[in-house]
Amino acid sequence: MKIVKVRDYEEMSQAACKIILDKIKDKKHLVLGLATGSTPEGLYRCMIHAYKEGKISFQHIVTFNLDEYLNLDQNHPNSYHYYMKKKFFNHVDIPKKNIHLLDGMATNYIQECQQYDEKIRRAGNIDIQVLGLGVNGHIGFNEPGTSFISRTHVVHLDPTTRKTNSKFFRDIQDVPKKAITMGIANIMESKEILLLVSGKKKELALARLINGEISEQFPASILKKHQNVTIIADCAALSKMCKENGN
């Protein structure tokens, strides 16, 4: 895993943005895996800015989002469909047909999961997957204990995840108890992975990822086995390592 140290959230977002825009310039039909949460918001702002300045077009890229809550309508302000439209898709030129998100309202979840796996496979797998890091080590919504060979599946959200994500909801009771997520195997099949980590609240999780052992109890640890992972982390998340280097 390559670790890129940056000063703060803004620098992390800019660095991630540059990597992705360069990839799109290299490969017009890039298959981009996208994440939600607070972490990638700055990245989306940066990509929108580049588009508005005429520096990039997203017309040919194909996207796959990592996850979605179960039983939240696509227009619900807390659904990841809504998040992606509001924070990225509505502001750029990506055609609707190139956007893939899991349907949290599907009538048949098994079928929804299988079809998503199949769509990723048919797209030739993900070229670059953006990931955030859960405080409990989750990636996507793959909670501690998830099998490393899992594919797209339905999950019961960890109480810590529901508590953390309740900041986006009116009340913790409103946070769905289940979600649907790409599996660890899907993520590991991405050709390249970009893990973004910012803030002191992620310090312990990041330290465990870097120094700890590979275990299904800490899902992100599997990334150590991937050939091409870049972690872009700010000083707050990396505090000890930053101090050692005088940053």
Residues of this chain that bind ligand GLP (CB under 6 A) = 35-39, 66-67, 132, 134, 140-141, 161, 165
Task: Report which of 229, 187, 166 is spatially closest to residue 37, judged by C-alpha positions.
Answer: 166
Residue nearer to ligand GLP on the CB measure, 56 or 66: 66
**Structure tokens that stand for 50 in this block:** 């580049």
Q: Considering the complex, what minimum distance in angstroms separates the CB of residue 198 from ligand GLP? A: 8
Residue nearer to ligand GLP on the CB measure, 5 or 176: 176
Task: Work out the burial of residue 167: count CB atoms within 10 Å of its CB; fewer than 13 is exposed, 13-18 middle, 19 or more buried.
Answer: exposed
Its sign, for the CA torsion 57, 232, 146, 228, is positive
Residue nearer to ligand GLP on the CB measure, 152 or 165: 165
Cβ–Cβ < 8 Å for 132, 73: no
Instruction: Tell me if residue 213 is catalytic.
Output: no
Q: How many CB atoms lie within 10 A of CB 129?
A: 28
Instruction: Tell me if residue 76 is catalytic.
Output: no
Instruction: Tell me if residue 136 is catalytic.
Output: yes
Catalytic annotation, pick one of 81, 138, 142, 165:
138
Catalytic annotation, pick one of 65, 68, 81, 136:
136
Q: Considering the complex, what minimum distance in angstroms separates the CB of residue 99 from ligand GLP? A: 17
CA distance linking residue 88 with residue 45, whole number of Å:
7
Q: Considering the complex, what minimum distance in angstroms separates the CB of residue 65 from ligand GLP? A: 9
Task: Report which of 169, 186, 187, 184 is spatially closest to residue 72, judged by C-alpha positions.
Answer: 169
Catalytic annotation, pick one of 65, 67, 98, 165:
67
Q: Considering the complex, what minimum distance in angstroms separates the CB of residue 39 from ligand GLP? A: 3
Residue nearer to ligand GLP on the CB measure, 39 or 63: 39
Q: What positions carry a catalytic annotation?
A: 67, 136, 138, 143
